[in-house]
Structure 1
Amino acid sequence: MRHVMLTAALVAILPILSASVAASQDRGPVTNLPLPRFVSMKTSEGYVRRGPSRTHRIDWIFKQPNIPLEITAEHGHWRRVRDRDGAGGWMHYSLLSGARTVLVEQDMLQLRKQPDPKAPIVAQLELGVVARIRECSAQWCRLAVAGYKGWAPKSALWGVKPGEILD
Structure 2
Amino acid sequence: MRIASLVLFTLLAVGTAGPVAPAVAQDAAPQPPRWMSIGAGRALMRTGPARTYPGAWLYQRPDLPLRVTAAFQEWRRVQDPDGTEGWMLVNLLRKTRTAYVRGPGAAAMRDKPSAGSGAAWHAAPGVVGRISACGEGWCRFDVKGKAGFVEVGDLWGVDPGEVLP
- For normalisation by structure 1, the TM-score amounts to 0.79
Determine the structure 1 residue equivalent to 2:100.
Answer: 103
Higher helix share: 1
After superposing the two structures, state which structure 1 stretch, 74-83 or 102-111, moved more. Answer: 102-111
**Contact in 2 for aligned 1:52/1:91 (Cα 8 Å):** yes
Match of 2:143 among 145, 148, 151: 145
The residue identity in structure 2 corresponding to 1:55 is: T
Question: In the TM superposition, what whole-angstrom CA distance separates every residue of 1:55-111 from its partner, at most 9, and x where no partner exists?
Answer: 111111112110000000000000000101111211000000100000001322110
CA–CA distance in structure 1, aligned partners of residues 91 and 118 of structure 2: 40
Q: Mapping of 1:1-167 within 5 angstroms? A: 31=28, 33-106=30-103, 107-167=105-165
Q: The residue matched to 2:99 in structure 1 has which SS? A: strand
Distance 1:152 1:46, change over 3 A: same
Instruction: Among all aligned residue pairs of Structure 1 and Structure 2, give the percentage whose two residues are the same amino acid.
Output: 37
Give structure 1 stretches of 5+ with no counterpart.
Answer: 1-28
The size of the alignment, in residue pairs, is: 140
Give structure 2 stretches of 5+ with no counterpart.
Answer: 1-25
After superposing the two structures, state which structure 1 stretch, 67-76 or 83-92, moved more. Answer: 83-92
CA–CA distance in structure 2, aligned partners of residues 155 and 80 of structure 1: 24
Distance 1:63 1:88, change over 3 A: farther
Which portions of structure 1, spanning 4 or more consecutive aligned residues, are displaced by more than 3 angstroms? 29-32
The residue identity in structure 2 corresponding to 1:92 is: L
* CA-based RMSD: 1.6
**Contact in 2 for aligned 1:60/1:88 (Cα 8 Å):** no
Q: The residue matched to 1:155 in structure 2 has which SS? A: helix
Determine the structure 2 residue equivalent to 1:26.
Answer: none
